[in-house]
Structure 1
């Protein structure tokens, strides 16, 4: 990255100054540029001055790793998202909560494990946390609404550890950190750790916060990392096809599933949603930032990847890590930098090149069709039949179809409008497609009513009395 970096640096410097953040580390990762990393401030660690390898607590960003581990276990047949917790883990209470509800924070679990751990700074180990589930409240009925729970994600982390026959730390390193090369992401406090601070609201004083080991709560909040590692992780969450093309960590289709919004976080202000362990921040114009915020004593983190939008080069991820536990600028900057990256340094526009024609069997499907009184255009691009409503908003992706393996004239909608539904083709004696049924609705070459009458013919004459 070259040309826009002064704008990125200025945004970071402004956030550090306005937020009064002792140390700030930011990074951008994208498919078409070298990673960009910038730091400003003082690590508070004399042996390791602030630099690109300085580590920060990432707090609840840890939950995204645990969510991926859960989905790996699902894909490997070790669990079912809609089965209750008790099907896999012997717990004294709340075993009826499903894995899916726990991942989306809709199971009603209280926020923290039993006890005032943020007062005593003494967290239970994994065994005690699970054994004391009967002392933790179900503060809301299952599926009633969103309620964020560190306890719920921590329980899922320990569940995955049991299913894999190791500790959560071991499973994390083996199944995510090493395959993706996230070598500077650790559970233990590293030598290069920045000091986290509470910055006084009424003076320039900054008080070091105590280091906290969260014990059994580790799958929800324990990790340390660098901005560079976390920007790459954000890029993976947004575009695994680029970061992990072989699907060694997780199939791209599974990440699609995780990114689907399951609940808003507020009933009236739909500014953020939750998928399966992932925060989803809509940016307008069919753009969403996917990732997570994090907070621990003395630290804040924002780690997000950008999906969609003009200028997006793919695998566009950003991380902003700060050593103040109160500076909201940390969490705002990550979204600002993602916008700047797409606006100031957009991906190159690839030239169009002619491709092969549509197969003979589908050529008569191309062009304009009418269904439900509306006009659609069927086209052939990138090796697939597609459809798009003429009046669809700009930027809305088309529907894409794939033929069933044993029935060439029956296709499945694999993305876009009516995803999952069938498209059936009807041919005349010459083999030309003369009618289609999509999600059972009839599609014809002219605009017809539901009774098959041609719109241009006008109304049928009314019966006259007598």
Structure 2
């Protein structure tokens, strides 16, 4: 019977052979197992292919620029709803907001002005801004998803200006070094694979020319190893497990980045975009979060896994390819993550007794009715929670936290009605006789909206 590692190896080898990829490097990171890696093929140059070989990761770079942008927000340097022109001196499009540029809903054209993909000469910072007035806003801002490398380039320049350095300097100081991503760089280095275009009708693999994306670097410049990128994917999915102190970004901020802002297809809701992150639902309340990348001669898929039974802490996968024409291979990171969970699920943590609910809350635990539906309020892991009585097991509960200096008032911190207040009303004996959650009345028995005795507890 094959081991899990052998299963994963075979999946990678099958893709390399069937998709005709000169070199493929894959890695799977999880908190409860050693890093798994697999390489197949050759670099196309005089260096050996191994887990230390670097590949161009293309638009996966955008996830780093997005994290740098949210760092600036958390440090009070900007607001996501600021117009970008508040932080950059721009000749045009300064009214577009940071949030819409991050989520690709600003309507800005895809590339900088000019035929960049014909010349393979990207503009420098001065030219990027000088030509900005010639770039179109091809859609009304906020109308729909429209991918834009130009928009991410502007955010990268903004981050550098706010931090007093270049985008590359800020990236190294504030993300790569703290997370130990030592093999992730803006230049290929000595151990880089050569990128190829594989001919559609023969076995010829033609090398693609090297490219430097200049001022558009914050959208697509980086090189990395599969191991570094699997760790990065794990951070995007589960930052608390890799950065417990929040040196790079608070887990709550990653939660915000992962919240879907838009779908990428209006009729097929199979993928969405958050703040700089691609979201790919997998069913059963599982989502893969990360990004794909494509540059001449290279493809990359970098995703972390969230949710679902068997998913380990800090679980991320990266697949890097030295072919620009093997698009079907970008499904592989999703398949590797699913296979790892299926054949090697995380251990089930045993339940242990915990502390009881505080005395003032014990009487409210149990079943309540609101809007004609039944809910169960309980105390677990040191917090008051609520679930619909018919909720499926995997649906997260609403979680409440006390509001300081307001007795019997709680804030919903996650789940249903997040942000809304829960207010308790007690009778003369101190028993909770009704509650108001998001202003809706909750009672111990099912009631119509007009059956309400205002005298109780008033």
Q: Deviations over 1:190-246 (max 9, x none)?
A: 100000000000000000000000110100000000000000000000000001000
Aligned to 1:155: 154
Cα deviation for residue 330 of structure 1 reads 2.7
Cα deviation for residue 172 of structure 1 reads 0.4
Cα deviation for residue 453 of structure 1 reads 7.0
- Asked if the contact 2:319–2:333 (Cα under 8 Å) also holds between the matched residues in 1, the reply is yes
- Asked if the contact 1:196–1:297 (Cα under 8 Å) also holds between the matched residues in 2, the reply is yes
- Distance in 2 (CA, whole Å) between partners of 1:325 and 1:178 is 29
2:37 is the counterpart of 1:37: yes
- Distance in 2 (CA, whole Å) between partners of 1:417 and 1:88 is 36
Aligned to 1:191: 190
- Distance in 2 (CA, whole Å) between partners of 1:408 and 1:171 is 45
SS at match of 1:393: coil
- Distance in 1 (CA, whole Å) between partners of 2:205 and 2:427 is 79
2:288 is the counterpart of 1:289: yes
Residue correspondence of structure 1 range 219-258 to structure 2 within 5 A? 219-258=218-257
Instruction: Show structure 1 runs of 5+ residues with no match.
Output: 455-466
- Distance in 2 (CA, whole Å) between partners of 1:157 and 1:268 is 32
Aligned to 2:176: 177
Cα deviation for residue 428 of structure 1 reads 1.6
- Distance in 2 (CA, whole Å) between partners of 1:453 and 1:232 is 55
- Distance in 1 (CA, whole Å) between partners of 2:364 and 2:234 is 38
- Asked if the contact 1:321–1:330 (Cα under 8 Å) also holds between the matched residues in 2, the reply is no
Aligned to 2:48: 49
Aligned to 1:368: 367
2:28 is the counterpart of 1:28: yes
Aligned to 1:9: 9
- Asked if the contact 2:53–2:225 (Cα under 8 Å) also holds between the matched residues in 1, the reply is yes
- Asked if the contact 1:240–1:252 (Cα under 8 Å) also holds between the matched residues in 2, the reply is yes
Compute the RMSD of aligned alpha carbons.
Answer: 1.1
Aligned to 1:277: 276
- Distance in 1 (CA, whole Å) between partners of 2:242 and 2:163 is 25
- Asked if the contact 2:285–2:394 (Cα under 8 Å) also holds between the matched residues in 1, the reply is yes
Residue correspondence of structure 1 range 235-384 to structure 2 within 5 A? 235-384=234-383
- Distance in 2 (CA, whole Å) between partners of 1:393 and 1:279 is 26
Cα deviation for residue 350 of structure 1 reads 0.9
- Asked if the contact 2:426–2:434 (Cα under 8 Å) also holds between the matched residues in 1, the reply is yes
- Distance in 2 (CA, whole Å) between partners of 1:357 and 1:368 is 18
Aligned to 2:456: none
Range that drifts further, 331-340 or 392-401: 392-401
Aligned to 2:417: 418
2:104 is the counterpart of 1:101: no
Aligned to 1:433: 432
SS at match of 1:407: coil
- Asked if the contact 2:175–2:248 (Cα under 8 Å) also holds between the matched residues in 1, the reply is yes
- Distance in 1 (CA, whole Å) between partners of 2:395 and 2:407 is 27
Cα deviation for residue 356 of structure 1 reads 1.2
Q: Deviations over 1:26-60 (max 9, x none)?
A: 000001111111100001121x2000000000000
SS at match of 2:407: strand
Aligned to 2:138: 139
2:60 is the counterpart of 1:61: yes
TM-score, with structure 2 as normaliser:
0.97
Cα deviation for residue 276 of structure 1 reads 0.3
Cα deviation for residue 166 of structure 1 reads 0.5
- Asked if the contact 2:55–2:188 (Cα under 8 Å) also holds between the matched residues in 1, the reply is no
- Distance in 2 (CA, whole Å) between partners of 1:106 and 1:190 is 35
- Asked if the contact 2:263–2:273 (Cα under 8 Å) also holds between the matched residues in 1, the reply is yes
Range that drifts further, 221-230 or 86-95: 86-95
TM-score, with structure 1 as normaliser:
0.96
SS at match of 1:66: helix
Cα deviation for residue 326 of structure 1 reads 0.9
Cα deviation for residue 408 of structure 1 reads 3.2
Residue correspondence of structure 1 range 50-129 to structure 2 within 5 A? 50-129=49-128
- Asked if the contact 1:301–1:330 (Cα under 8 Å) also holds between the matched residues in 2, the reply is no
SS at match of 1:247: coil
SS at match of 1:408: coil
SS at match of 2:44: coil
| Count of residue pairs brought into register by the alignment | 452
- Distance in 2 (CA, whole Å) between partners of 1:386 and 1:44 is 57
Q: Deviations over 1:325-382 (max 9, x none)?
A: 0102331101000101111110001111111111101001100111111100100000
Cα deviation for residue 3 of structure 1 reads 3.3
- Asked if the contact 2:197–2:207 (Cα under 8 Å) also holds between the matched residues in 1, the reply is yes
- Distance in 2 (CA, whole Å) between partners of 1:53 and 1:318 is 16
